[in-house]
Structure 1
């Protein structure tokens, strides 16, 4: 075994001191769920009626926070109307149970059916509320969602809940007695526990699916998300829809807790308090939603016991929110970081790239075949009166590595953006293997086989290395993913990206896109942040990519040593126009190219 093979084997293995991801412990969710059920059974039989009702309220608040955490924590958007979704779910359940023949027809199962129908109605509202999120962010989105909460608040005050129309109580599920019965409250508590465990388990796996990865990626970078072939629109709307569905379930259970409903439970002020707690405790972490639920219920309850006006609970929530916003952190992350500090420290060596330690492959620069893969004809981009690109023509053969260079402001980044779908207003023609890409949005361009990396860091720090690569390389086998990570000397799959330096993250971004297997990969200054030794090894690996992985490369790079090392063909842009193109040595010796670079002449000679 070579030194490179030995080193790669030891870094990809997960040793005793490694930082593990939840995927390394598939039994953990079941153990946690089992433990929660055991604790719930003990509490259900030991707690008096008052504390049983309080515990049920805590679980319902926890359920609302689980839904809210998807939008605010995982997907990074603002939603100030979570209890509005709960109100819709509760209202629909109330209507079906008291104003329709559903209960006589289905008996004890009617509540469950009505709860799910209410959750679907809430998810429809969530989808509608999510539409402005496609255009709005920050304060503007907060105003819209707050407006939804206020409008629904006033509507409920006018129409009230259906059980009040006929003075009829809502029957609990599965024949559980009403709220005045101690045994009924106990069994309803068990029912709520079962629902919370099921929802939490579903969210746990959903957050680790492609949907969850898309939410995390959108929170970090919408451009980076689109470049992976993921629709930003779908990611945002799905986050709001799922969040509202869970909110609708919580609302139905709130009605079942007291067998009636009151609009006060779903007031706008309560939604604001819930949002502040979601930010303060970190509701994207499932374990912290329980703490958030406890605070949401117990703070007002404690104030009530001491006869303090309940308005002070809003002040307490505001203090928690201010603390979270000013420190740019949350309680959940702080606690988790404190608990994992030793393990992260022990796994620090795994967070470092081993690229410089890999043995050279000795592959020559690829020259490609005769087949033209990328054809750019008369590509022009204007920003007002400024011509960023003017009639640019580029042809790239399959299997070669083409370099794109030019002085600062020459139009290189604009060229990459136009090719990858981020500048739809361009004129001219862009074709990949004969398929025109001009009218396609970025995620459709990526799905068509053209991927890109970025100059700025677009790798979400909330994932592990393996989770990020699986997200970008959707559909790639685990064997291929591990092969590419090993090929580029990346950290182990289980390594949290939060402890990986920026230079190594860029290397992981390149590896992930290679693993995706596109026809063409655009690399925008991929060597930035690498040491000299890593730089040499990186060039050696890039030369082998077309032949080994079947990915043709177009590299935008200021580092001419890297360009010389890997590219066989070169295109030079200057003031948005092609100054020279052709074989590398001929282009670099062109007097016009030397003149364009001025002070960089020595580098080119």
Structure 2
């Protein structure tokens, strides 16, 4: 078994078990202050401004839900008000057309609100299914079509309270809109609901589920390679967003006492989407700011005696600004804070790789059992064969180099092994388990992991959150600290957007080591490192099998790195194995030199 005490480690500054981004009491302190402010507002604001404050709370709920899809998961959803309409319609029906108020009394509104939100979540699940295949403009068209269809349906069917001219009873017997004390109490009720939602989303975003959303926004391939289902990531984001949207719709008609289909018009969904991407509604404080804009812009237009339709122009301008700058207000504020910390000398994003002590020379160990067995692997794209009958075996504790000229099939081999090219011939097994037809996330769970040739580390996470995500939440804080320290990575609290590309590549390796895979395939892992970092990284790579118990397959063009790190080498040329054996034998083979330099160079 690997032992951590063999080597001197530089420990990160974040204590094991500590929160990687903020003190554990901070969210509860913010919650307490927010509720205190709401309580003060409820008893000090005039009647009209109390209604405005309630509208802000309801709008914030919608933006929190939309921020999950647009900000966290990086998808386009133009039907958030449709989810709100479903939640509102179901609550309206249950409160006015069924004996639910008689059965549950003052709690009937809450029961109906939850049922309405669940109904909206079902629609969110259905809408998410096209998202499994569609992206960008195509997904926008689908969600816009859902919103338009809902508009037509609501216009024809109307809301149940209008069938008989009834009104919707508020929870706990709270009086209607015309009563000041009723509006005050309903504001407090709505503030309590949004507080529960905000806290739940806060912890959800910092959980593995939240990391999954941010990862799928960055790259679906990275998400799958970390052992996470892309299907789960997209479906869960839409479903949770729709559930929260349904809550917002229920709160809205509880505030008004009646419902109108025009409130949930498609144009309102478009404006909400533009505002969401402009402010960065996946940040809770930005969702509050967005809600203020949603409510106060029309109020200002009324004050200045301008057409209310101009509010759409404001939202569009903000959305266009966000799209053209590829940023949002929440990100910009956080970057400004980081720049200030850097000026004050508190930046810890630099790599410590070159300051690590050299590892003792490892004593050669006899090869262990076969952990990766590839037989006759063939990949064809139409009439072109990218791989032909490739055989490869890796034994436990081995570090094998995979080299070859550009176009030899190295990246294709990794894609085929990790499930991204399922239509291949041959047989692949990891630890004795056949993985030929497994999807990528299942391959990763079996114990075959990979890194990527390009930078594929999501910049929206912290170092610690990224490592926990890649390790699928199964690595202890001590294990994460150990993996990061072994490769001289920045502390867990460091935001990845503040880390240079070369260091992010090293963090990617550390994260996969924290998952303790049987086999880890590294695709040009030293790219982006300085010469000194390159040498230190090679030294650390040599110790990985002993330290972490992981077998390595390294795809690399740098033959000096291959010579110094790899115990064996396989050469691919035109999709076939040209040579395989010890590093000394293979690199001295004239056929290998010919494949790299050509006949003319050798002559």
Normalising by structure 1, report the TM-score. Answer: 0.95
CA distance in 1, matches of 2:573, 2:365: 25
1:456-495: CA deviation from partner (whole Å, max 9, x where unpaired): 1111111111111111112011111101111111111111
Unaligned residue ranges in structure 1 (runs of 5+):
none
1:568-597: CA deviation from partner (whole Å, max 9, x where unpaired): 111000000000111111111111111111
**How has the CA–CA distance of structure 1 residues 35 and 456 changed in structure 2, closer, same or farther, with 3 Å as cutoff?**
same
Aligned-residue offset at 1:547? 1.3
Aligned-residue offset at 1:365? 7.5
Indicate whether 1:441 and 2:439 are aligned.
yes
Of the structure 1 ranges 581-590 and 101-110, higher mean CA displacement relative to structure 2 is found in: 581-590
Aligned-residue offset at 1:366? 5.2
Aligned-residue offset at 1:33? 0.7
Question: Which position in structure 2 is the counterpart of 1:316?
Answer: 314
Note if contact 1:21-1:464 (Cα within 8 Å) is conserved in structure 2: no
Indicate whether 1:590 and 2:602 are aligned.
no
Indicate whether 1:147 and 2:145 are aligned.
yes
CA distance in 2, matches of 1:547, 1:71: 42
SS at 1:378's partner residue? strand
Indicate whether 1:13 and 2:13 are aligned.
yes
CA distance in 2, matches of 1:553, 1:347: 38
SS at 1:394's partner residue? strand
Question: Which position in structure 1 is the counterpart of 2:392?
Answer: 394
CA distance in 1, matches of 2:513, 2:375: 26
Question: Which position in structure 2 is the counterpart of 1:480?
Answer: 479
Select which of 348, 351, 356 maps to 1:350.
348
1:391-427: CA deviation from partner (whole Å, max 9, x where unpaired): 1111111111111000000000000000011101111
Question: Which position in structure 2 is the counterpart of 1:256?
Answer: 254
SS at 2:380's partner residue? strand
CA distance in 2, matches of 1:22, 1:312: 43
SS at 2:348's partner residue? helix
CA distance in 1, matches of 2:250, 2:368: 64
1:157-182: CA deviation from partner (whole Å, max 9, x where unpaired): 00000111121111101111111111
Q: How does 1:263-342 map to 2 (within 5 A)?
A: 263-342=261-340
CA distance in 1, matches of 2:368, 2:285: 57
Aligned-residue offset at 1:348? 6.0
**How has the CA–CA distance of structure 1 residues 63 and 600 changed in structure 2, closer, same or farther, with 3 Å as cutoff?**
farther
Select which of 447, 457, 463 maps to 2:461.
463
Of the structure 1 ranges 574-583 and 587-596, higher mean CA displacement relative to structure 2 is found in: 587-596
Normalising by structure 2, report the TM-score. Answer: 0.96
Of the structure 1 ranges 572-581 and 170-179, higher mean CA displacement relative to structure 2 is found in: 170-179
Question: Which position in structure 2 is the counterpart of 1:156?
Answer: 154
**How has the CA–CA distance of structure 1 residues 160 and 347 changed in structure 2, closer, same or farther, with 3 Å as cutoff?**
farther
**How has the CA–CA distance of structure 1 residues 40 and 214 changed in structure 2, closer, same or farther, with 3 Å as cutoff?**
same
Aligned-residue offset at 1:507? 0.1
Note if contact 2:114-2:247 (Cα within 8 Å) is conserved in structure 1: yes
Q: How does 1:87-102 map to 2 (within 5 A)?
A: 87-102=85-100
SS at 2:517's partner residue? coil
Question: Which position in structure 1 is the counterpart of 2:68?
Answer: 70
1:234-270: CA deviation from partner (whole Å, max 9, x where unpaired): 0010000000000000000001001111101100000
CA distance in 1, matches of 2:600, 2:430: 34
Of the structure 1 ranges 293-302 and 436-445, higher mean CA displacement relative to structure 2 is found in: 293-302
Question: Which position in structure 2 is the counterpart of 1:180?
Answer: 178
Q: How does 1:412-431 map to 2 (within 5 A)?
A: 412-431=410-429
**How has the CA–CA distance of structure 1 residues 550 and 281 changed in structure 2, closer, same or farther, with 3 Å as cutoff?**
same
**How has the CA–CA distance of structure 1 residues 364 and 5 changed in structure 2, closer, same or farther, with 3 Å as cutoff?**
closer
SS at 1:579's partner residue? strand
CA distance in 1, matches of 2:366, 2:67: 49
SS at 1:455's partner residue? coil
Aligned-residue offset at 1:63? 0.6
CA distance in 1, matches of 2:444, 2:475: 15
Aligned-residue offset at 1:223? 0.5
CA distance in 1, matches of 2:20, 2:545: 34
Note if contact 1:282-1:331 (Cα within 8 Å) is conserved in structure 2: yes
Aligned-residue offset at 1:330? 1.3
SS at 1:247's partner residue? helix
Note if contact 2:526-2:534 (Cα within 8 Å) is conserved in structure 1: yes
CA distance in 2, matches of 1:542, 1:82: 48
Unaligned residue ranges in structure 2 (runs of 5+):
none
Select which of 401, 409, 415 maps to 2:407.
409
Aligned-residue offset at 1:14? 5.1
CA distance in 1, matches of 2:336, 2:327: 13
CA distance in 1, matches of 2:506, 2:582: 27
Of the structure 1 ranges 369-378 and 151-160, higher mean CA displacement relative to structure 2 is found in: 369-378
Question: Which position in structure 1 is the counterpart of 2:131?
Answer: 133
